[in-house]
Amino acid sequence: MKYFSTRNFELRRSAAEAITEGIAPDGGLYLPEQFLPFPMEALAGMSQTEISVAVLSRLFDDFTEAELAEAVAASYDTAFENGDISPLSPVGDAYSMELWHGPTCAFKDVALSLLPRLLTMAAKKCGIADEICILTATSGDTGSAALSGFSGVPGTRIIVFYPDGGVSPAQKKQMVTCDGKNTAVCAVRGNFDDAQTGVKNIFATVTPAGNMRFSSANSINIGRLAPQIAYYFKSYRDLLNAGRISLGDPVNFVVPTGNFGDILAGYFAKQMGLPVGRLVCASNENNVLSDFFASGTYDRRRDFHLTSSPSMDILISSNLERLLCMLCGAEKTAEMMKSLKESGAYTLSEETRAALAKEFWAAWADDEETKAVIRRYYEKHHYLMDPHTAVGFAVYEKWLASDQANEAPTVILSTASPYKFSRTVLAALDLPASEDEFADMERLARETGTAIPAPLAAVARRPVVHTAICEVADMPAYVYGKTEEKEWAR
């Protein structure tokens, strides 16, 4: 299986090379040349591990099934509560796929528990002896999950940038207390798009010191995106085994997303044979994606909003580039990405816009709608959700009221524990909050009779070890300086 750049079909790599590089030299993202079909007829009897291995082996043929099975088992067997990485919970007439039962209580754990093993295996396949330095920008959850996954992994280091003031207190505490000796965390005076653009520029302009090379843990890395495909198949298996559907019946998925990676994984699952009815893209007030699907124009020239769902506070949705390439080809995609960089916008042809409309539906919800959904679903179903998941449920309701809705079962992806955003959840339930995020967690637990996830309870007691902060323009110098250091002392 070869991987090509979304901006140049002639720029090709093996799967292992694509994983180790993270991003293509021309700035494009790696995309597989084909999607091999998943064995749907066997799905009902497959274990969670077998589903993940079946997905990964059809994308990464550099690895044997035995190697992948060992990596998946080592990543998931003890890291997730009750051994289930994506339990389904019925909520009204829909289903919530809870992706937050891992070590940092967010959906990013599913991929970032596995990526370090994929990356080290890939480096070995490529004969790479250099130390690999992971560069990551985060809007909240990727950073803590990546730090958790890579902390202490031999032959790797990781540098995480997050927007100063743009993540929740719990998200920040998870990152700045990570004490792995191969980890570095730096706040950026700017928003997530500034941090993400800064990381992409570092890939293009900075040569690390010594025997070191860069890679990425964001979903721009195909090794990060691929594991997310598996939980779409797993949720379908759960519905099959519950007797809710028969093999071949369509299922809709509502995905709260900012960078477009999680919903793109669902589109990839469909390309591999999963019977997906409609993919519903849910945005918050930074509604660049919902506007894009409505108008056919992607325009980042708009106000940036800090919302109660900060992991979605994004105006440049990097993974959309992969979808554009699949629909328009590399040459046209390169033109659109050039236009986005230079003018801040691009527009699809009517043909491409019509093709998108067959696969996706999109809408957005503001903070007031988000809080109302949290309160309503708790009062009606005693189901507690975080603000990102609430955006998904709010958009689900709008989709049901549209003329595009269908009769198929619908799964809403629940992307984070409500306890990562306890202050917002308390406010939504008309309960007083404090200035102490961890005291708020305890209040939320008492008031709702639910339990604080163990990883979040533990982080409250950890000391802060990362205090760096820099301007966006200083990110390259910060990274180069860190690569010059032989050891990162704690």
Token pair recorded at residue 248: 């071949």
Cβ neighbours of 248 (radius 10 Å): 8
What pLDDT was estimated at residue 489?
67
Contact yes or no for 118/62 (Cβ under 8 A):
no
d(CA 96, CA 254): 10
Residue with tokens 């549209």: 402
d(CA 108, CA 310): 14
Beta bridge mates, 163: 188
Q: Active-site residue 108, yes or no?
A: yes
What pLDDT was estimated at residue 140?
80
d(CA 365, CA 381): 21
Contact yes or no for 285/230 (Cβ under 8 A):
no
Residues found in the chain: 490
- Residue 132 backbone phi and psi in degrees, to 5: -105, 125
Q: Out of 108, 200, 270, 420, which one is annotated catalytic?
A: 108
pLDDT in tens, 291-332: 999 999 999 999 999 999 999 999 999 999 999 999 999 999
The 3-class SS string of the chain reads: CEEEECCEEEEEEEHHHHHHHCCCCCCCCEEECCCCCCCHHHHHHCCHHHHHHHHHHCCCCCCCHHHHHHHHHHHHCCCCHHHCCCCEEEECCEEEEECCCCCCCECHHHHHCCHHHHHHHHHHHCCCCCEEEEEEECCCHHHHHHHHHHCCCCCEEEEEEEECCCCCHHHHHHHHCCCCCCEEEEEEECCHHHHHHHHHHHHHHCCCCCCEEEEECCCCCHHHHHHHHHHHHHHHHHHHHCCCCCCCCCEEEEEECCCCHHHHHHHHHHHCCCCEEEEEEEECCCCHHHHHHHHCEEECCCCCCCCCCHHHCCCCCCCHHHHHHHHHCHHHHHHHHHHHHHHCEEECCHHHHHHHHHHEEEEECCHHHHHHHHHHHHHHHCCCCCHHHHHHHHHHHHHHCCCCCCCCCEEEEECECHHHHHHHHHHHCCCCCCCCHHHHHHHHHHHHCCCCCHHHHHHCCCCCCCCEEEEHHHHHHHHHHHHHCCCCCC
What pLDDT was estimated at residue 490?
61
Q: Considering only CA atoms, which of 157, 144, 146, 141 is closest in space to residue 115? A: 146
pTM: 0.94
Question: What residue ranges do the domains of the chain occupy?
Answer: 84-105+223-450
Token pair recorded at residue 179: 């004490």
Cβ-proximal residues to 35 (8 Å cutoff; 6+ apart), any chain: 58, 59, 268, 271, 272
d(CA 122, CA 223): 10
Contact yes or no for 43/10 (Cβ under 8 A):
no
| Positions in the chain whose pLDDT score sits under 50 | none
Overall fold of domain 84-105+223-450: Rossmann fold (3.40.50)
Cβ-proximal residues to 398 (8 Å cutoff; 6+ apart), any chain: 363, 365
Q: Considering only CA atoms, which of 408, 31, 39, 64 is closest in space to residue 221? A: 31
Q: At what angle do helices 367-381 and 387-400 cross, to 10 degrees?
A: 90
Contact yes or no for 326/31 (Cβ under 8 A):
yes
Cα-based torsion angle of the residue sequence 13, 19, 25, 28 in order, rounded to the nearest 10 degrees: 90
